[in-house]
Amino acid sequence: MTKQILNSLDIKEVLKALVGGKVLRSEDAQRIFETNRALKSTEHPLLSIARLMKGSTIDATEWSEDKLTRWVANKSKFDFIEIDPLKIDVASITNVISYDYAGKHNILPVEVGTDFVRFACADPFNVVWKTQLEQIIRKEILIGLGNPKDIERFTNEFFNLAKSIRTVGAEDSTSTNPLAQNLEQLVQLGNTGQLDTEDHHVVQLVDWLLQYAFEQRASDIHLEPRRDQGNIRFRMDGVLHNVHQVPPNVMTAIVSRIKTIGRMDISEKRRPLDGRLKTKTPKGQEIELRLSTVPTAMGEKMVIRIFDPEVLQRSFEELGLSHRELTLWHKLTSQTHGIVLVTGPTGSGKTTTLYSTLRKLAIEQVNVSTIEDPIEMVEPAFNQI
C-alpha cells in the first residue's frame, strides 16, 4: 500500500509532497508557492499548482489537473473519482443534496446505492459535513478526491439539468408558448452560465444536450419517447449510449424546441419530417445538424445527425487509407462511368470518404452533380440535388 505522505491539501503541504516524490525541485516548489501568494489566488490549491508547475517537472513531462489530482489521491490514500456523466444518474444524485449544499462544501454525489452514497470531494480531508449528512440520508457516505474543476462544472450542469427538467415537467408542454418566438436559425451555445431562474428551461435543456453531444464527439443524438420515461441516447464510435431519461412531457418540449429552431412544422406530428440546423459551439466552431422525426406509438422520435465540417473536409491523406487502398480508390473514381458502393455502420466515415472524393473530382473543367436524400452537408464545390 502506498505510504500516506499527505494529511491536507494545503498548497505548502502538496508542494512539499511533490518535492519528496521527486516531481518538483525545491526551488521550483518555492517559486510556485511565492507566485501563488503574490497573486492572492482564491482558486483550489491543486488547480493553482497544476497551472503554475507547467514546464517545471523534473522529468519535463506535462502534468494536467487530472494527473496531479490522481497523484495526490494516491499519496493520501483516497480513491480518485473521475466524473463520467455517461455513468451518473443525474436524477438520483441531485435528490441527495441541494445545489447550494454541494457548492458550499465543494462536493458532488456520483453514485447512489441501496445503503451508500459515493461523493467526489474537492477536499476529502475536510468532511465536517459527513456525519450530519449520514444521519439525514441514513446511508453510509463514501468519499474520494475529484478534480476540483470537474466538481464545480458538473455540479452546475447536473443541478441545472435536473432543475430544468422538473420545471418543464410541471408546465403544460403542449401549449404554444415562447418556444416558437424570437428564435434564430443560427443558435449560439454556451451562454447559459450559472443557474438562473430567469432562463427559459427548455432552451437550457436543449443547450446542454447539444453542448454535451459535441463534447462527447457523438455522431448522432436519439430522442426516444416512452410511456413513463423518454430516453436520450448518443451514438459514439458506432455504439448507442444511454445519457439521460426525462418525463414524456419534457421529451415533447425538447423535440418541439429543436423542431422550431430547425424550421420544421411543430404542428405536424403524424408524418416523418426532415430539417436542418446550423449552430456554433462555445469555442466558435460551426456545426451542422440534420434533423429527422418519425411518429411512434408513444410520440415523435427524433434523430439528430451531427456533422463536423472539419471532419467532412478532410483530404485523402487524412482518411487513414493505405497507399495501396488510395491507389485503388483513385483508379476506381477516375473511370468515366460505373458505380462504386461505400458501405459501413453509422459513423464509419462513408460521408467523409465520398465528400473528399467528390471535392477532389470537382475541378474547374468538370461538372459534378450529386443526388442526396437528404443533403448532409452543403458543399459549394459541386451541385447538390
Note whether 72 and 88 are same-domain residues.
no
Cβ neighbours of residue 166 closer than 8 Å, sequence gap 6 or more: none
Q: For residue 108, name the pLDDT band (cuts at 50, 70, 90).
A: very high
Q: For residue 144, name the pLDDT band (cuts at 50, 70, 90).
A: very high
Least confident of 47-51, 78-82, 139-143, 203-207: 203-207
Structural domains of the chain, count: 4
Note whether 357 and 299 are same-domain residues.
no
CATH code where residue 241 lies: 3.30.450.90
d(CA 272, CA 61): 54
Least confident of 158-162, 180-184, 285-289: 180-184
Q: Considering the domain boundaries, does residue 186 fall inside one? A: no
Rounded (5°) CA angle 316-321-322: 120
Rounded (5°) CA angle 340-344-345: 155
Note whether 257 and 284 are same-domain residues.
yes
Residue 323 cell numbers, joined: 497507399
Note whether 108 and 140 are same-domain residues.
yes
User: Which tens digit of pLDDT belongs to each residue from 272-286?
Assistant: 998 888 887 777 777
Q: Considering the domain boundaries, does residue 113 fall inside one? A: yes
List residues bridging with 287 in a β-sheet.
Answer: 279
Note whether 299 and 327 are same-domain residues.
no
Q: Considering the domain boundaries, does residue 173 fall inside one? A: no
Note whether 330 and 289 are same-domain residues.
no
Number of H helices, E strands in the chain: 13, 13
Determine the structural domain holding residue 327 and report its residue range: 311-384
Residue 266 cell numbers, joined: 411543430
- Per-residue pLDDT, 54: 83
- Per-residue pLDDT, 200: 63
- Per-residue pLDDT, 178: 37
- Per-residue pLDDT, 176: 42
Note whether 53 and 92 are same-domain residues.
no
Residues in the chain, how many?
385
Q: Considering the domain boundaries, does residue 208 fall inside one? A: no
Note whether 64 and 94 are same-domain residues.
no
User: Which tens digit of pLDDT belongs to each residue from 40-59?
Assistant: 878 899 998 888 888 788 87
Note whether 292 and 315 are same-domain residues.
no
Domain boundary among 136, 168, 200: 168
* In the predicted structure, residue 187 carries a pLDDT above the cut 50: no
User: Which tens digit of pLDDT belongs to each residue from 286-317?
Assistant: 788 889 999 998 889 999 998 776 665 667 67
Note whether 50 and 99 are same-domain residues.
no
Report whether 137 contacts 93 (CB < 8 A). no
**pTM of the predicted protein model:** 0.65
Q: Considering the domain boundaries, does residue 190 fall inside one? A: no
d(CA 220, CA 376): 13
- Using the Cα atoms of residue 177, residue 179, residue 184 and residue 188 in order, give the sign of their dihedral: positive
User: Which tens digit of pLDDT belongs to each residue from 335-380?
Assistant: 888 898 988 877 677 888 888 888 888 888 888 888 887 777 777 7
What is the chain's mean pLDDT, rounded? 82
Q: Considering the domain boundaries, does residue 52 fall inside one? A: yes
CATH code where residue 94 lies: 3.30.300
Transcribe 330-376 into DSSP letters: HHHHTSSS-------STTSSHHHHHHHHHHHH--TT---EE--SS--
Residue 237 cell numbers, joined: 464510435
Q: Considering the domain boundaries, does residue 2 fall inside one? A: no
* In the predicted structure, residue 116 carries a pLDDT above the cut 60: yes
* In the predicted structure, residue 167 carries a pLDDT above the cut 90: no
Note whether 247 and 317 are same-domain residues.
no
Note whether 341 and 297 are same-domain residues.
no
- Per-residue pLDDT, 175: 46
* In the predicted structure, residue 143 carries a pLDDT above the cut 90: yes
- Per-residue pLDDT, 186: 43
Q: Considering the domain boundaries, does residue 290 fall inside one? A: yes
- Per-residue pLDDT, 78: 92
Rounded (5°) CA angle 187-191-192: 110
CA-wise closest residue to 164 among 209, 105, 119, 133: 209
